[in-house]
Amino acid sequence: MEANNFDTVYVATESVIDPQKIQFENEKKEMRSTCNKLGLMIIIATVVFMLFSMFVYISYSIFAGNKTLPSFIDSIPDNIISGLGNVAAIGICGLAFIKFFKIDLSTALPFKKISAKKLFSVVAIGFTVCMISNIMTSLYLEITASLGVNLNFDIEMPVSDSFIEILVYFLSTAIVPTFSEEILFRGAVLSSMRKYGDGFAIFVSSAVFGLFHGNFVQIPFTFIVGLVLAWSVVYTNSMLPAIIIHAANNGFSVLSDILYTNAETLNINESIIDFFSIIIIVGVAVIALVAVIKLSKRDKNFTKPKNYSGILDRKTRTKMLVTSPTIIISTVLLLLESITTHFSV
């Protein structure tokens, strides 16, 4: 009788242990930790950017004193400060967080060899999406302005015919941010979330990328750009397409702004700038359309990112993300920055 009772208790105890439930809880615990680390990463990068930029600016002001720089280089210090702040906060923090997450550098920043044809196709698709987002942003500004809401965000550009000044501005605004932002957003952020599904990781990295820009004009635009940049990394398993797309988008925008701002000085008619801009955009868009048709037929992975292999459903993964304390704090911090930027314009 006692033996029977013992067997009954043993069987009952064994039936309570559910391996799938244990795995579910373990994966939730691991994801909660990952999300908290991600939020902490965003907070630190934001604070470092602010503090470092402030430090460099104050140091330069003390060093320069009341000295007046020659007119052909008077905007260079501000551009250098911006570039250094970007590298310090975003690039260096990105590398530090890759180490913090214990992600292999080749996994976080992959550079798998891809054919020139595939690279060209992906870059054309990415650049076209960026240009469409630019157009959408312009329409967005026009609509909000018609409703009496001014969201226009002006970035000061050098009105100068100085080659040195314009070159430094171009490098610090278009090129430096490309590499530093790719290290953080398509490196640290994307790679840290890919174990929860490539689609999920693409969305999260894009949302962080958009919020990090700190103003309501750029948030929707950079979110869409972030989607195509993250997709290009996942699809090709290489950072190279994302770097080229990002540099092309930034470079095209900055170069256009420089030409429009200095049109009178450079004796260029704005209609000519418009004409060549349209030719470039339409030409690349046609190439992108052909690439989409061909790749979607030939490559089954073109629009199907790798699915999550664990047992957490999408609702649970989303809940883990949005209820993470550090994610909430970082989101509030970035939204406050956007609000501050809006009212300071």
Helices (H) and strands (E) in the chain, counts: 16, 0
Instruction: Write down the pLDDT at residue 46.
Output: 87
Element (H, E) at 136: helix 116-146
Domain ranges, ordered by start, for the chain = 20-344
* Size of the chain in residues: 345
CB 34 within 8 A of CB 308: no
Residue 196 carries which DSSP code? G
Give the CA radius of gyration of the chain: 24
Instruction: Write down the pLDDT at residue 70.
Output: 59
Question: What gap in Å lies between CA 60 and CA 233, rounded to an integer?
Answer: 38
Q: What type of residue sits at position 304?
A: K
As to burial, measured by CB atoms within 10 angstroms (0-12 exposed, 13-18 middle, 19+ buried), residue 144 is: middle
pTM of the model: 0.86
Q: Which residues does the chain have with pLDDT short of 70?
A: 1-16, 60, 63-79, 150-161, 342-345
Instruction: Write down the pLDDT at residue 112.
Output: 93
